[in-house]
Amino acid sequence: MVSANQTASVTEFVLLGFSAYPNLEKTFFVLILLMYVAILLGNGVLILVTVSNSHLHTPMYFFLGNLSFLDICYTTSSVPLILDSFLTPRKTICFSACTVQMFLSFAMGATECVLLSLMAFDRYVAICNPLRYPVVMSKAAYVPMAAGSWVAGSTASMVQTSLAMRLPFCGDNIINHFTCEILAVLKLTCADISVNVISMGVTNVIFLGVPVLFISFSYVFIIATILRIPSAEGRKKAFSTCSAHLTVVIVFYGTILFMYGKPKSKAPLGEDKEDLADKLISLFYGVVTPMLNPIIYSLRNKDVKAAVRNLVFQKRFAF
């Protein structure tokens, strides 16, 4: 009863965001707004071409369409809140909205980890076992794979969010972040969070460690297979089919592993210069990475570029 009453007494949270750096807020508002528009346009175009172009109805582009839709969902769950915080003097969010935002952002992040590993498996089968590719990566296989990534990410997020929000909050409702990031919320509780720490550690191993190892081993075999191709043109063609995915993986996991893997400072708020750096790293992961994904796939994939050109020319011809 005490825990329930304490939790119920918290009706809203205050998001500090960049309030300690008011001179940066207008600049960041413009930058984030422009990047958000680019995310919606870039990923929207990728979804459109993968759905409308019959040549792209393959497992790789099906996963890519899911990745683009996921990036739109992920940024939409946080960017409007960030933009609003730059314009509103009182930067608050109600308890229920904070819970929903935390669930969506965690679910999208976990889902993307699994989805990127599935895309690596797709490239592994295509390059290392091309004769078995139509059987292994049939529609009956890759559609449940993609659905499973969404289910796994949502389930993990539900567990982490419910564990966090059942904790009592003892008056301090100031979140030192610009969204309801789960680690920032956990700092506000006055209860023992050992269960949360253990659960978060297990989740990180499953959704960060395992996919990274899986992707790494996949690319070891992929690179070994490519190097055995006798012709230089053949090696170049084979590597081009997975270079975009490898670039996205490096950007995505490089950022998230650095953000969550580095030691967290325990210094009081305002005394640690890493405070701003942590927020900028999180912002890069949450906004810049989803903006880069469609750019990377558009620039490094001939099929996507051709599909986009055909789509543009068809629109022009229609007008």
pTM: 0.85
- The predicted pLDDT at position 152 comes to 95
Q: Give the range of the structural domain holding residue 252, as residue numbers without chain letter.
A: 12-259+280-300
| In the predicted structure, residue 278 carries a pLDDT above the cut 90 | no
- The two tokens of residue 153 are 């990410």
- The predicted pLDDT at position 272 comes to 44
* Residue 269 falls inside a structural domain: no
Q: What is the rounded CA–CA span in Å between residue 134 and residue 116?
A: 20
265 touches 187 (CB < 8 A) = no
* Residue 294 falls inside a structural domain: yes
Count how many domains the chain has.
Answer: 1
* Residue 316 falls inside a structural domain: no
| In the predicted structure, residue 9 carries a pLDDT above the cut 70 | no
| In the predicted structure, residue 158 carries a pLDDT above the cut 90 | yes
pLDDT in tens, 215-266: 999 999 999 999 998 888 888 888 888 888 888 888 888 777 676 555 554 4
189 touches 218 (CB < 8 A) = no
Q: Residue 210 is part of a domain; what is its CATH number?
A: 1.20.1070.10
- Which helix (H) or strand (E) is 175 found in, with range? strand 174-175
- The predicted pLDDT at position 259 comes to 66
- The predicted pLDDT at position 171 comes to 67
- In degrees and rounded to multiples of 5, residue 92 shows phi and psi of -120, 160
* Residue 2 falls inside a structural domain: no
Q: Identity (one letter) of the amino acid at 288? A: V
* Residue 246 falls inside a structural domain: yes
In the chain, DSSP finds a helix count (H) and a strand count (E) of: 14, 3
* Residue 97 falls inside a structural domain: yes
* Residue 4 falls inside a structural domain: no
Count of beta carbons in the 10 Å neighbourhood of residue 94 = 12
pLDDT in tens, 46-105: 898 888 888 888 898 899 999 999 999 999 988 888 888 787 776 788 888 888 988 998
* Residue 255 falls inside a structural domain: yes
- The predicted pLDDT at position 262 comes to 56
Name the percent of the chain lying above pLDDT 70. 86
- DSSP state letters, 257-274: HHHHHSPPP-SPTTS-TH
